[in-house]
Structure 1
Amino acid sequence: MSTPDSFINEVTDEVRRDRLFATFRKYGWIGILLVVLVVGGAAFSEWNKASKRAAAQAFGDAVLAALEAPDPAARRAALAAVPASGDRAAILNLMLASDPATDRAGALAALDKVAADTTLPVAYRDLAVLRRVVLAGADMAVADRRAALDPIAAPGRPFRPLALEQLAYLQIEAGDTAAAITALQALTVDQEAPSGLRQRAVQVIVALGGDAAQG
């Protein structure tokens, strides 16, 4: 290669390096920013996970401590004092309603809070309504209990078999024994129904004078 060619190549390489450095100086911050964002995002994700774990552990510890209170009134007060929101508040209210014998009004009020909170998953709300209907019993009109249970008994709802069982009991209460037996017979072969529920259905059918073997 001749000397002029070598000189031209060296100049060309130098120009390329200058352009490369100029481009880096102009746009290099974008790459640095991307690296910072990736590293920062990973760090935030780990911090967020750790924070959620710590919050869940603190909530669990507070609930366990509340349950160790010496009497029902003290347990209710301790549970009510546990800071919570969203799903955790729903869990607390369901727990507050677990001892209606000593505070029936408080249990009903706690269940009403869960049932009325449309931000909660449907499973929480359906469970609250179901328990409220059972707890209210004859103090709640049959028609009102049926209206509360009908949506929960729809296909795909998480507590459908339990709602159907309660609807069958309402038919017994209303004096429609034949319809109750038919509903309970359907539950004995319902694959979504837990085994304990199917056994209860058989026992009630027999007690009503029906044939549990029919499906």
Structure 2
Amino acid sequence: MSDTDSFIDEVTEEVRRDRLFLLLRRWGWVGVLAVVLIVGGAAFNEVRKARIAGQAQDLGDAILAALSQNDSAERAASLANVGSDAPGGDAVLNMLLSSAQVEAGSRQEAVDSLNAIATQGDLPEIYRAIATFKALLLQTETLPAADRRQQFEALAAPGAPLRLLAEEQLALIDVSEGNVDAAIERLQALRQDAEISIDLQQRAAQLIVALGGEPEPLVARQG
């Protein structure tokens, strides 16, 4: 290689270094910012996970301490004083609180605790349905049959998670209103449902017999 070619290569390499240095000075902060964002985002995510786990642990400890009370009224009072910031924690707390309130004889307070879950729109449907169902059972003697029927019919809608249990309750409302034939018809249909459990199927058959009817033969299920 001639001295001229060598000199040209050196100059070219120097120009490249100068350009790279200029680019780093101009745009190097972008790379630094990207690294900061990646590292910062990962750290924030870990801190968030740790905070959620800590909240859940604190909630669990507080609930266990409240449940350790021997007296049902004291348990209810202790649970009522527990606060929750954990996702879904307030629903679990209100479920436990309602049970303690029932044991303490505070039935209406238990209904209020369950209704607080039932109206919490950000909860999965199954939790809201269970809360509504339990609240209705607690109001069997206080809520008019027409009102209970309306709410159980909503729970018995196609695809609803507790529809079969709601159908059973609707049959019991039929019985309470003296409409035995309607109750038997509903129970017969309930027994034939492809999704019914064995326990519920047996309960329906026993109720049909108790009402003076005869359970229809079960239709063979396909598949």
Whether these two folds match at TM > 0.5 is yes
Alignment match, 2:67: 67
| Contact 2:56–2:89 (CA under 8 A) maintained in structure 1 | no
Aligned residue pair count:
215
Q: Alpha-carbon deviations, 1:35-69, whole Å to 9, x = none? A: 12112212222222122112111111211111110
Judge which range, 7-16 or 106-115, deviates more: 106-115
Distance 1:60 1:195, change over 3 A: farther
The separation in 2 between residues aligned to 1:213 and 1:53, in whole angstroms, is 52
Alignment match, 1:197: 200
Do residues 95 (structure 1) and 92 (structure 2) align?
A: no
The separation in 2 between residues aligned to 1:105 and 1:3, in whole angstroms, is 100
Q: CA deviation at 1:15?
A: 0.2
| Contact 2:98–2:109 (CA under 8 A) maintained in structure 1 | yes
Alignment match, 2:36: 36
Normalising by structure 2, we get a TM-score of: 0.88
| Contact 1:185–1:214 (CA under 8 A) maintained in structure 2 | no
Alignment match, 1:174: 177
Q: CA deviation at 1:25?
A: 1.5
Aligned 1:1-215 pairs, distance under 5 A:
1-85=1-85, 87-99=88-100, 100-101=102-103, 102-215=105-218
Alignment match, 2:221: none
Q: Which runs of 5+ in 1 are unaligned?
A: none
Judge which range, 96-105 or 160-169, deviates more: 96-105
Q: Which runs of 5+ in 2 are unaligned?
A: 219-223
Normalising by structure 1, we get a TM-score of: 0.91
Q: CA deviation at 1:160?
A: 1.4
The separation in 2 between residues aligned to 1:142 and 1:210, in whole angstroms, is 24
The separation in 2 between residues aligned to 1:196 and 1:84, in whole angstroms, is 36
Percent of aligned pairs with the same residue?
47
| Contact 1:142–1:170 (CA under 8 A) maintained in structure 2 | yes
Q: Alpha-carbon deviations, 1:85-136, whole Å to 9, x = none? A: 5622222222222242511121122122222333333222222221121111
Aligned structure 1 segments of 4 or more residues deviating by more than 4 angstroms: none
Judge which range, 155-164 or 193-202, deviates more: 193-202
Counterpart residue identity of residue 39, structure 2: V
